[in-house]
Amino acid sequence: MTRKWSILLLAALFAMMALVSPAAPASAQGPNLLQNPGMEAPFAASLPGKENCLIAVPWLAWFVEGNAEQTAAGYLLAPEYKMATWADYPGNRVRSGSLSQQYFHSFGNFQAGIYQVVNGVKAGQRLRFTIWALTWSCDDESKGNCAGATSGDPSPMHLRIGIDPDGGTDPFAPEIVWSSEINAYDAWHPLAVEATAAASTVTVFVYSYPDYRSQDNNVYLDDAELVVVAPPATDTPEPTLTSEVTETPNVTETPAASATPEPSQTPQETASSTPTPAATKTEPASAAPANTSEPTAQPPEAQATAAPQLTTADEHASSSQNRWVIPVVAVASLVAVAVYAYSRGGVRRRRRRY
C-alpha cells in the first residue's frame, strides 16, 4: 500500500511541477526576405571588367583595392570570387544545398565581402540578419601545419556582418549596425545582428579583413537569412495618447466658477431696502449655497480616479502572484503527504517485525 501511495504521489508531484514551471514564449518569425539565401546557382559576374568575380545572383561583391605601392607589397588585393562545391577538398566547403559562396586570395590580404539590397520592408521594423561562415587561413603550406586543408598559423579574419537601415551600398557608412567579429576557422559558425529599418529598403553586408599576407585566406558563406522580429515600434505608442486625452476632463474644474451664486447676495440689498423683510434674514441661509459651492469643488477631487487605476494594477500583480502561490502550496502539501505516508509505512513494517 505504501509503495502504491508513493508512486501516485510522485506522479502528482511531477504534474504539479510541470504546472509551476513557466513555458518558454514562442518567438514569432516572418519569412526570409533575402533572395537566394543558400548561395545556389546561377552565379554571374558581379563587377563588369573584374575577372574572376562570380557571385550568387542577386548578391553583389565589394572590395577595397589599394594603391600601386600597397598592392605591390601584397596588401589590399582584389580577391577572387567563385562558387564552392562539395567536391572541394576536404569536403566541408558547403553547409547545405549544392553550392556556397567563396572568395579568397593567395599570398596577400584583402578587405572585401558581399552584400544584398532588400526592398519591401517597413520603417520601424526590427530585422535580424544571420549567415553561416567558414574560413581557411594557412600561413605557409610548406611548413606542414595545414594538413587536410585546415588552418595553420592563421591570420585574424575580422569576419563580421551588418545591416544598413537606410539601404545604402557603402560598406563603410556610419549608419551600418555591425555584429561582433569572429574567425570561423575550419568549421561553420553563425553570425547574427539586429537593426531597425529606417526606410523601405535595407542592405545586408558581409565584411572580412585578414591581417596577414598568408598563402591561403579563404572565406565561405552559406544559408543567409533576414527576418522581421518585431513590428514597427511606432504602432504601439499611439494608444497611450488616448489616456492623456481622458485626463482633460480635469479641466472641468472650471465649474468652480459656479461660485457665481454670490451674486445672490444682491437680494440682501433689496431686503435691506424693504422694512418688512426683516425676517428675511433667513437669507444668510442663501449663503449656504455659497457653501454648497465647496462640495461642488469636491467632485473634481473625486474625479481624480488615479487611485482606482493603481488598485487595478495592484490587483493584477496580486493575481499574478496568486497564480504561483496555489501550485506551490499544492506541491508542498503533496510532499508533506508523501513524507507522512512513507513514515506510516515504516511504522507498519516495524510492527510486522515484532
3-state SS string for 32-66: CCCCCCCCCCCEEECCCCCCCEEEECCCEEEEECC
pLDDT recorded at residue 47: 86
Give the pLDDT mean for 113-130.
Answer: 98
Q: Is the pLDDT of residue 136 over 50?
A: yes
Confidence at residue 87, expressed as pLDDT on a 0 to 100 scale:
98
- Residue linked to cell 526590427: 126
Q: Region 340-352: what's the mean pLDDT?
A: 56
Q: Which of 52-56, 85-89, 348-352 has the lowest mean pLDDT?
A: 348-352
Q: How confident is the model at residue 74 (pLDDT cuts 50, 70, 90)?
A: very high
Domain boundary assignment for the chain: 1-20+305-354, 43-234, 238-303
Residue 159 has pLDDT above 70, yes or no: yes
Continuous segment of H or E residues that includes residue 105: strand 99-105
Residue 212 has a pLDDT of 97
Residue 46 vs residue 19, higher pLDDT = 46
88: Cβ–Cβ under 8 A, 6 or more apart, which residues?
94
β-bridge partners, 115: 60, 205
Query: Would the pLDDT of 245 be above 90?
Result: no
**What is the average pLDDT score of the chain?**
76
pLDDT at 30: 84
- Give the helix ranges, DSSP H, for 232-305: 238-246, 266-273, 284-303
Burial code (b: 16+ CB inside 10 Å, e: under 16) for 317-338 equals: eeeeeeeeeeeeebbeebeeeb
Which region among 39-43, 142-146, 236-240, 306-310 has the lowest average model confidence (pLDDT)?
Answer: 306-310
- DSSP label of 200: S
**pLDDT above 70 coverage of the chain, percent:** 57
CATH superfamily entry for domain 43-234: Galactose-binding domain-like (2.60.120.260)
Rounded mean pLDDT, 79-100: 98
Give the least confident one: 67-71, 155-159, 273-277, 338-342: 273-277
Q: Give the residue with greater pLDDT, 305 vs 74.
A: 74
The residue that leads in pLDDT, 269 or 330, is 330
Cell numbers 569572429 correspond to what residue? 182
Residue 254 scores a pLDDT above 90:
no
Identify the CA nearest to 2 among candidates 349, 334, 354. Answer: 349
